[in-house]
Structures are given as C-alpha cells and as structure tokens.
Amino acid sequence: MGQINLYSYFRSSAAYRVRIALNLKGLDYQQHAINLLKGEQKSKEYRSVNPQGLVPTMMTEHGSISQSLAMLEWLEETYPEPSIIPGDSYQKAQLRSMAYQICCDIHPLNNLRVLNYLKNEFSVSEEEKSKWYQHWITIGFKALEAQLDDHIFCCSDHPSIVDISLIPQVYNAMRFNLNISDFPKIQTIYQHCNTMSAFMHAAPENQPDT
C-alpha cells in the first residue's frame, strides 16, 4: 500500500480524528503542517489541494480526500482491521449517528472561521464568543452523555469512530474552559482513551508542528 500524507494542524480537531484512526489501524503516515493561525489554509497553493481551505486533507495513492469523516470511512474500507465501525448495519448506523452528532452538529459551530466571523462581522466580544462556544458544546455533550452506557469506550469495549470523534472535541472543549466533570461518562472515556498510545500519539501536544 502507498504512503499516506496528511495535511494537518496540531490543534485541528478534524485532523486529530484522522491521526487517531491512522494510529489505531497501525498505519504509517507523514504529516505536513498547515498553520491555521497564519492563514496558510487559505493560500492558493493549499486551496488547489483542498478548495474549501480546511484541514485535514489526506493524500493517498489514488488521490486526495477532504473531510475527516470521508477519510475515516476510506480507511475503514481500505484497512478493515481493527474495525472502527464494527457490527451489523444497525450497529454501524448507531455509531455513525453519534459520530455525526459531534462532527456535524457540534464541531462546525465552533470552528475557527465561524468564531472569527462572529468577531469580525458582529463585533462579538471574547466573553460572548466563549458563551457561544460553551452553549453548543454543552447542548451536544448533554445529549451524548445521555446516550452513553457503562462501556470502557463510547459504545463497546473497543474504540470506534465515536471515540475518535469525541476525544478531540473534549480536548477542544477543555481549551475553552468547559468543566468536563459535568459529563462524568464522557470524562471517564476521555481519560481511558488517553492511556492508549494511538490516542496519545495523536494528541496535539505530540505533533511535529506543536
């Protein structure tokens, strides 16, 4: 199989998801840093790879893939073991449902470009921006907490696409001072995942561009 290259930024939650999945599947990959704070994602050169101007982008032997969930699905189909979307079609739908709650309904509302738009177009203060952030995270995490049972990971005794989506979102929430102990099941899963090397090596503080 060909080399995988990942255009990434150490603190990007979406890139963090893909790093966890690559590590869980034991795949070798090379990262290329795109500095979001310097606006490198908007450069003509990067947009020729990813017209949305977002990270991550994964380069495979077949070509590039944008959108982290599409990358996770491609990895699962191309490298099925260990599975990150296991089970029958109903179980897979349940896992995707929870992952989408994080990746489609929480994360986009708190993305850098959304926060910058609030600030630049509507003169939102830092305090109001933080309130916005906390609001969407809290609503999303409350719903997730209600769906979790007592497994070691989100949905079973093995890490899945849900844990892969959740851990970067928790990391991000803690950066914005969310009190994660308000969500005890999420907190326990977060702490447990971070004892695993696949999660540890994917963490923002362990990236070459940190």
Nearer to ligand GSH, 12 or 160 (CB): 12
Nearer to ligand GSH, 33 or 112 (CB): 112
Report the SS3 class of residue 135.
helix
- By the rule CB under 6 A, 207 interacts with ligand GSH: no
Nearer to ligand GSH, 103 or 186 (CB): 103
Binding residues for ligand GSH, rule CB under 6 A, total 14
The pair of structure tokens assigned to 193 is 């995942």
**Nearest of 97, 99, 86 to residue 13 by alpha carbon:** 99
Host H or E run for residue 58: strand 57-60
Which residue type is seen at 191? Q
Residue nearest to ligand GSH (CB): 113
Q: CB under 6 A: which stretch of 105-113, 148-156, 159-167, 194-202 binds ligand GSH?
A: 105-113
Of the candidate residues 7, 8, 10, 13, the single one contacting ligand GSH (CB under 6 A): 13
Q: What is the DSSP string of 168-203?
A: HHHHHHHHTT--GGGSHHHHHHHHHHTTSHHHHTTS
**Nearest of 1, 171, 76, 134 to residue 68 by alpha carbon:** 76
Nearer to ligand GSH, 27 or 115 (CB): 115
- The bridge status of strand 63-66 relative to strand 29-33 is unpaired
Of the chain, the end-to-end C-alpha distance in Å amounts to 29
Which residue type is seen at 151? H
Residues 18-57 contacting ligand GSH, CB under 6 A: 36, 41, 54-55
The least CB distance from residue 62 to ligand GSH, in Å, is: 18
- By the rule CB under 6 A, 8 interacts with ligand GSH: no
- By the rule CB under 6 A, 98 interacts with ligand GSH: no
- By the rule CB under 6 A, 99 interacts with ligand GSH: no
HSE at residue 53, side-chain half, CA atoms within 13 A, is: 13
The least CB distance from residue 194 to ligand GSH, in Å, is: 19
- By the rule CB under 6 A, 170 interacts with ligand GSH: no
Q: Which residues would be at the binding site for ligand GSH (CB under 6 A)?
A: 12-14, 36, 41, 54-55, 67-69, 103, 111-113
